[in-house]
Amino acid sequence: MTAQPTKQLFASETYSKNILGPAFFSMSDLTIAGTSDDSKIGLTPAPANSPYIIANSEEFSVSLKVSFNKSPLTSLLMCLGTEVHVRFAFEGIGGAAAEKDVEVVITTVKDTYEYELKWTGTPNDAELTPGLYGVAAVAQVGPVKHDCSQPIIGFGYLAGKLLQVYPA
């Protein structure tokens, strides 16, 4: 048996370029869910249109799913309490519709990698005037609630839904 080499190779067995793995997230299921406003006789929308055509006094929700990958780095970020901000943007189409945003903020928890962020209220609560709106969700992930955190970990957006608000 030969003696062990006297020279150690630090760049081969003891170094990993990706020890914690990548951290990333995806956004999906941008959803608008209206409830039918039965308070005005004759003004109740057809049930098939109800989620997207709503009265200004009707309660509705807008939601989005945010999913994180499962790597050691992501697990650490979830455990440390990463803030996830989603701003739901209502972009007015035409001069009568206002442009307003509502924001939802959550803090991640250990061993949870999928979150639903949801805002619930009425168009009046969100200061939406009657009209047609394009709806988008803009996300900001970060910072982590820790002194050593970098400010922002990632950004993303999802768009493509329409919402019509009518006066009740």
pTM over 0.85: no
Say what the pLDDT of residue 133 is.
Answer: 96
pLDDT in the model for residue 11: 45
Tell me the CATH class for 25-166: mainly beta
Spans of all domains in the chain: 25-166
Q: How would DSSP label each residue in the chain?
A: -PPPPSS--TTTSS--TTSS----EEEEEEEEEE---TTSTT-PPPTTTTTTEEETTS-EEEEEEEEE---HHHHHHHHH-EEEEEEEEEEEESTTS--EEEEEEEE--TT--EEEEEEEE-TTTTTPPSEEEEEEEEEEEEEESSTT--S--EEEEEEEEEEEEE--
Buried b / exposed e across 63-93, counting CB within 10 Å, b at 16+?
Answer: bbbbebeeeebbbebbebbbbbbbbbbbebe
Could you state, in chain order, the average pLDDT of each consecutive group of 10 residues for the chain (168 residues)? 60 58 91 73 60 89 95 91 96 90 97 98 95 95 81 87 91
- DSSP character string of 95-111: TTS--EEEEEEEE--TT
Which burial class, exposed, middle or buried, applies to 137 when counting CB atoms under 10 A from its CB (0-12, 13-18, 19+)? Answer: buried
Please tell me the predicted confidence (pLDDT) of residue 153: 81
